[in-house]
Amino acid sequence: MRWFLKIISLLAVLVSIVYLGHHSHSSQSTLQKIQKRGYLLWGSDAEGGAPYVFPDPHNPLKLIGFEQDIAGDIAKQLGVKAVQSQNAWDSLIPALERGDFDMAMNGIEITPQRSRKVLFSIPYYVYSEQLVVRKDNTDIKGMADLKGKRVGTLSGTVAAEMLYRMGGVNVKIYSGQVEPYQDLALGRLDAVLLDLPIAAYYAKPNPALKFAGPPVGEGLYAIAMRKGDAEFKQKIDSIIANLIRTGELKRIYQKWGIWNDNQKKLYDSAAQTGYVGLNESRSAPIAGFLPMLLKGAAITVAISASSMMLAIGLGLVLTLLRLYAAQPLSSLATAYVEVYRGTPLLIQLYILYYGLPNIGISLAPVMAAFLGLGMNYAAYESELYRAGISAVPQGQMEAALSLGMTRGLALRKVILPQAVRIALPGITNDFIALFKDSSLVSIIAMVELTKTYSILAASTLRFFQFGLITAFMYFVMSYPLSLLARRLERKLKGAK
Amino acid sequence: MISVRDLQKNFGDVQLFKGVSLEVEKGQAIVLIGPSGSGKSTFLRCINGLETFHGGEIIVEGTVLHPVGGNRPSRQDADEIRKVRRKTGMVFQHFNLFPHLTVLENIILAPVEVLGVKKEDAVRHARSLLERINLNGKEGSHPGQLSGGQQQRVAIARALAMKPEAMLFDEPTSALDPETVGEVLSVIRGLVEEGMTTLIATHEMGFAREVAHKVIVFDEGEIIESGPPEEIFTYPKKERTRNFLSRVLRL
Ligand SMILES: Nc1ncnc2c1ncn2[C@@H]1O[C@H](COP(=O)(O)OP(=O)(O)OP(=O)(O)O)[C@@H](O)[C@H]1O
Ligand SMILES: [Mg+2]
């Protein structure tokens, strides 16, 4: 009971550190850093990201979208290349604050709350909200008809705020921009209110849906930068002003079909080029997306294998501490195992990646994924070893000791080799589980197989085909391991 | 060469040994008999340092084991215990061979790792031991592939590989099929004839009578009688000895 209280208070301290802590940035300016490394790192979410930023259906390893174009232009003016950093949309601002990238550009609306946290550039797009309903719907013609209706939108957006402020609307909050339109088509929603570029890409090509009334509300998208990056902001502002003046922005917006008269508030000149629409994404051959999925699979394998190594090593250390170390150490090791087994892996990953920066420790996504999975599974491996060791008969240790061996030597040469043999099928099964759990690291900006799947599926709406292909890829990789585990189990039974 | 003086040993609140003493001369073969639960195994395990004890002392060739009760032995005590273990080889009822190692690896593990013997020398010695227990050709087998009698002979060879000055046997034939008992007993008999100091706990009365220089009768944690086998088996002085013998010999 007392150790339980200790753990609780430890957790409380941890949580308060995570939430109250503030952090600082290195003295080098962002502009200098960009020049030195040779590329501009910009944060955005390519999952369900069309037409902002999403994988090119013709070459899915490449990202396209109007923001991808803008980022490319900005980088060109800075004399460097643009590199996208993949992040969940909700976590763009925290990730910017922790210094994961130089700037965030992803349909981020200027709001008073956000202005308190970040520095906004001058706006690069005037967005408005578009109401979408089913084709057969006749009673919703505008915002005024929404009372008592089920209306879908995205979490944390201005559209959501508008709906809440109207009152009397049954607001359904989504985290992806594809799902609300799907639910609308299926009759689970009566209407969807989202930013016009989203509606233009996802809803317009859908024959089951139609726009209801003209766009409403008006707001500004701007690039978010860290407070204190004033010099960088000035540079970005002058670049955007330049893009507006030269008509480059208009060219981009027309190419993506999101140009409207509202944008005149930003500039006037005009030009016309090609544009990738949803129907094109939908019909591109599946084979073209395979390289991207294979790349995701390779990252999944690499992350799983390396964190399993960590789990196996750390698990052994934990077991030895628990079984043979003196008091404070052995209890600490036991507490480690209990805490890691008793809390969700997802929370552990969040704390590692988003929490630690608050106390000054900033881990790269790969590092956080490796440590997060490895440290979690170490707890499970430790349990397996402990079971393995206690399954070795007492007489083995006695025989080794009676031959003059020290405990350590007996452990190394006699007990552990037998314990490992006993634990091996379980370890193999855990590896399979870890392999599948590795999909969780997609929440910390790792683009592995599952994340690749959701990015592709959301930009092409082919959830089913890509889902089957991705599931098949996981299966092909994990099935041999299952066979191995079963063989090891049989061998162990045979040896007894 | 081994002296046990006033040995006291508790299991929890139960006192098993209330002061047991025994002197063993070099080359002597001592057989421990007595009813089940009388303390024979515990006595041998104390000498090998596998059990701690609460009073008295045990001296093996000048190395002294002190009582530490239920506590973990200090580093110095642990060193003494290891020294004693190197001088005494122990053979268990259930062999306790290392199942993941071959016969040869079982035998050379401790000489190489504990004594630092060169591997070639350890292997050569192991082969000569295998010849002596009549198991040459089995060095590559795993314990699981051997009969009980063969396993127990390997266990004896494993203990002998450390060149001990005394051997302790705790019911070495109790877990064996009757037809393999003989081969193990004949190996032990050979050791006794060569002059190895031996302590054997056993229920094999015929064997005890044949090889023992001295028979010790345990009952309820006490040595109730001791003497040459012909005396113990033909004219036991104590009523309890007579009862015990009549029970086991009738079986
Ligand atoms: N680890 C232990 N914990 C508690 N009691 C024990 C322990 N080991 C032995 N004893 C007790 O000590 C007494 C002596 O046991 P011991 O095994 O030495 O007898 P033994 O003479 O070898 O018997 P057997 O002929 O059955 O092998 C028994 O009463 C036993 O229950
Ligand atoms: Mg016994």
DSSP string of B144-213? GGS-HHHHHHHHHHHHHTT--SEEEEESTTTTS-HHHHHHHHHHHHHHHHTT-EEEEE-S-HHHHHHH-S
CA–CA dist A210, A213 (Å, integer): 9
Give CA B145 to chain center in angstroms.
25
CA–CA dist B59, B66 (Å, integer): 9
- Residue A115 has a pLDDT of 83
Bridge-partner residues for B58, per DSSP? B4, B65
B162 vs A23, more confident: B162
- Residue A17 has a pLDDT of 44
- Residue A98 has a pLDDT of 85
Residue A289 DSSP code:
G
B33 vs A263, more confident: B33
Q: Max CA-CA distance within chain A?
A: 93
Contacts of A492 in chain B (CB under 8 A): none
- Residue A20 has a pLDDT of 41
User: Which portions of chain A are predicted below pLDDT 50?
Assistant: 1, 4, 11-12, 14-26, 268-276, 496
Answer whether B42 contacts ligand 1 (Cβ < 6 A).
Answer: yes
Token pair, residue A27, equals 């003295």
| Interval B187-206: pLDDT, tens | 999 999 999 999 999 998 99
Contacts of B100 in chain A (CB under 8 A): 417-418, 421
| Interval A382-418: pLDDT, tens | 999 999 999 999 999 999 999 999 988 999 999 999 9
| Interval A237-278: pLDDT, tens | 888 888 887 788 888 988 888 888 777 776 532 222 233 456
The protein residue whose alpha carbon is closest to atom 16 in ligand 1 is: B39
Which strands, in side-by-side order, build the sheet including A39-44? A81-86, A39-44, A103-104, A224-226, A118-120
CA–CA dist A365, A443 (Å, integer): 10
- Residue A72 has a pLDDT of 92
- Residue A490 has a pLDDT of 79
CA–CA dist B57, A162 (Å, integer): 88
Q: How do strand A39-44 and strand A103-104 relate by DSSP bridges?
A: parallel
CA–CA dist A267, A414 (Å, integer): 79
Give CA A165 to chain center in angstroms.
30
- Residue B17 has a pLDDT of 92
| Interval A5-35: pLDDT, tens | 555 555 445 444 444 433 434 457 888 889 8
Tokens 């009388």 found at:
B38
- Residue A10 has a pLDDT of 52
Whether B125 shows a pLDDT value over 60: the answer reads: yes
- Residue A264 has a pLDDT of 75
User: Considering the entire predicted model, what is its pTM?
Assistant: 0.67
- Residue A237 has a pLDDT of 86
Bridge-partner residues for B217, per DSSP? B33, B225
Partner-chain contact A403 B98, CB within 8 Å: no
Listed in sequence order, the residues at least 6 apart from A116 whose beta carbon sits closer than 8 Å to its beta carbon are: none
Task: Give which of B90, B59, B65, B83 is closest to B166, Cα–Cα.
Answer: B90
Yes or no: say if A106 and A369 are a contact pair by the CB < 8 Å rule: no
The protein residue whose alpha carbon is closest to atom 2 in ligand 1 is: B11
- Residue A495 has a pLDDT of 55
Tokens 């946290």 found at:
A117
Answer whether B174 contacts ligand 1 (Cβ < 6 A).
Answer: no
Closest residue in A to B78 (Cα) is A406
Listed in sequence order, the residues at least 6 apart from A388 whose beta carbon sits closer than 8 Å to its beta carbon are: A418, A419, A420, A421, A422, A423
For residue A335, give the amino acid letter.
A
- Residue B224 has a pLDDT of 93
CA–CA dist A299, A445 (Å, integer): 13
Q: Please state the ipTM of this predicted complex.
A: 0.94
Average pLDDT for B115-123? 93
Residue A107 DSSP code:
S
Partner-chain contact B86 A404, CB within 8 Å: yes
The H or E element that residue B218 is part of is strand B214-219
- Residue A446 has a pLDDT of 76
- Residue A278 has a pLDDT of 60
Contacts of A418 in chain B (CB under 8 A): 98-100
Yes or no: say if A37 and A28 are a contact pair by the CB < 8 Å rule: no
CB burial string B22-60: b at 16+ within 10 A, e below = bebeeebbbbbbbbeebbbbbbbbbbbbbebbebbebeb
Yes or no: say if B58 and B48 are a contact pair by the CB < 8 Å rule: no
The chain A residues in contact with chain B (CB within 8 A) are 393, 395-396, 398-406, 409, 413-414, 417-418, 421, 495
Tokens 């079909």 found at:
A257
The protein residue whose alpha carbon is closest to atom 30 in ligand 1 is: B37
CA–CA dist B52, A392 (Å, integer): 22
Bridge-partner residues for A55, per DSSP? A63
